Amino acid sequence: MHRFKDLEIWKKSRVFCSSVYDITSRFPETEKFGLTNQLRRAAVSIPSNIAEGSSRNSNKDFSRFLQITLGSAYEIETQLLISLDLKFIDQAELDALLKDLESIVKMTSKFKSTLK
């Protein structure tokens, strides 16, 4: 078992989640149940799956939750690109979010590889 609160990927993903909430708070009201909801749910999923996976009794189970975390990250990347296409965010905001997300993906992938 791992102490999720000590994991840097969990800490970074919490900060990233807050960034997603901040950005989406400026989306049009018509997107409340669209991209805003999708992005927020996927962003919350990242630290949540890290925390849940850390409670599992085997590295194999934890690894499965980290794989779900990676899926959520790629879902967010797609949704952010769509948000740019729709002009809900600008290129600078996208670049900053994707830089943070890429860091989380790399850290998660590397950590996942140590669990085998």
Rounded to whole angstroms, the Cα distance separating 22 from 3 reads 28
Place of tokens 């996927």: 42
**Structural domain of 69:** 4-114
The number of folded domains in the chain is 1
CA atoms within 13 A on the CB side of 4: 17
- Mean pLDDT, range 55-72, rounded to an integer: 94
Q: Is the pLDDT of residue 84 over 80?
A: yes
Rounded to whole angstroms, the Cα distance separating 80 from 82 reads 5
Quick: pLDDT tens for 1-60.
Answer: 678 999 999 999 999 999 999 999 999 999 999 999 999 999 999 999 999 999 988 999
The pTM of the full predicted model, rounded to 2 decimals, is: 0.93
What is the CATH number for 46? 1.20.1440.60
- pLDDT value of position 116: 72
